[in-house]
């Protein structure tokens, strides 16, 4: 259940470069509305806008993403990486190093993309969780330096890292977002962290 939700969140946490990206945000959202009912009216609002005026909607999302997460006339209100929250507002701080260690435990290496999202970027961490959920059987665990079960790694990653910063990020996002997609992303992150807290031992 959680893997598609994580896939949606990962997509929403990436820069909406193109119309295809916006379409993907919509196409991946079906499981999300089952998991988080509050998302549906907001996503419907977004879909209506998208159908009516895709060009304007795309640019509005690009401006909103830039304003919230990258560069803004009023300072960046919601940096999307862990180091900001855990390492006194730095970029690529110790938290980035910590995440790379987790990825390596599952036989994965962080790969730099064209937008150079750091290893502790929200989208990267969400993809890691998605992989743990989705790809337990095929992940190349045998090559990892330390072999852990997906569950143990999930729990360790969540409790020692992800859940230490994502709730703060989600609160800031909820406060500053003006477009439905980012309001839904904030709700999703909050729900994800709260759900895990409510169900101690819950696994993907």
CB of 34 to another protein, least distance (A): 10
> Which residue in the block uniquely carries the two structure tokens 């419907």?
44
Alpha-carbon distance 144 to 142, whole Å?
A: 6
CA 128 to chain centre: 10
Our CB check for another protein shows the closer of 26 and 151 to be 26
Under rule CB under 8 A, which residues in 138-157 are in contact with another protein? 140, 143-145
Q: Which of 1, 37, 55, 116 binds another protein (CB under 8 A)?
A: 116
Closest distance to another protein from the beta carbon of 167 (Å): 19
Q: Among residue numbers 12 through 71, which ones bind another protein (CB under 8 A)?
A: 14-15, 20-21, 23-24, 26-30, 33, 40, 43-44, 47-49, 52, 59, 62-63, 65-67, 70-71
CB 10 within 8 A of CB 127: yes
The 10 Å Cβ neighbour count of residue 35 is: 16
Rule CB under 8 A: choose which of 1, 37, 55, 75 binds another protein: 75
Q: Which is nearer to another protein, 20 or 194 (CB)?
A: 20
What residues contact 119, with CB distance under 8 A and at least 6 apart? 92, 96, 97, 99, 100, 103, 110
Query: How far is it, in rounded angstroms, from Cα 122 to Cα 16?
Result: 15
Q: Which is nearer to another protein, 142 or 200 (CB)?
A: 142
Count of residues engaged in binding another protein, rule: CB under 8 A: 71
Q: Which is nearer to another protein, 75 or 201 (CB)?
A: 75
Among 5, 78, 86, 123, binds another protein (CB under 8 A): 123
With tokens 């089952």, the residue in question is 34
């Amino acid at each position: 259940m959680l893997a598609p939700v994580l896939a949606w969140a990962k997509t929403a946490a990436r820069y909406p470069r193109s119309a295809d990206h916006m379409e993907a945000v919509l196409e991946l959202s079906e499981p999300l509305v089952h998991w988080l009912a509050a998302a549906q009216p907001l996503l419907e609002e977004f879909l209506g806008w998208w159908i009516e005026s895709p060009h304007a909607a795309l640019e509005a999302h690009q401006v909103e993403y830039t304003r919230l997460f990258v560069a803004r006339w009023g300072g960046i209100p919601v940096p999307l990486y862990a180091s900001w929250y855990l390492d006194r507002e730095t970029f690529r701080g110790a938290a980035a190093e910590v995440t790379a260690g987790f990825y390596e435990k599952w036989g994965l290496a962080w790969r730099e993309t064209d937008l150079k999202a750091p290893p502790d970027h929200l989208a990267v961490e969400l993809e890691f969780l998605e992989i743990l959920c989705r790809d337990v059987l095929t992940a190349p665990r045998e090559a990892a330096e330390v072999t852990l079960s997906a569950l143990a790694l999930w729990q360790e990653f969540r409790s020692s890292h992800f859940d230490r910063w994502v709730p703060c990020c989600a609160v800031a996002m909820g406060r500053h977002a003006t477009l439905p997609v980012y309001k839904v992303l904030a709700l999703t992150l909050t729900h994800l962290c709260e759900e895990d807290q409510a169900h101690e031992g819950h696994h993907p």
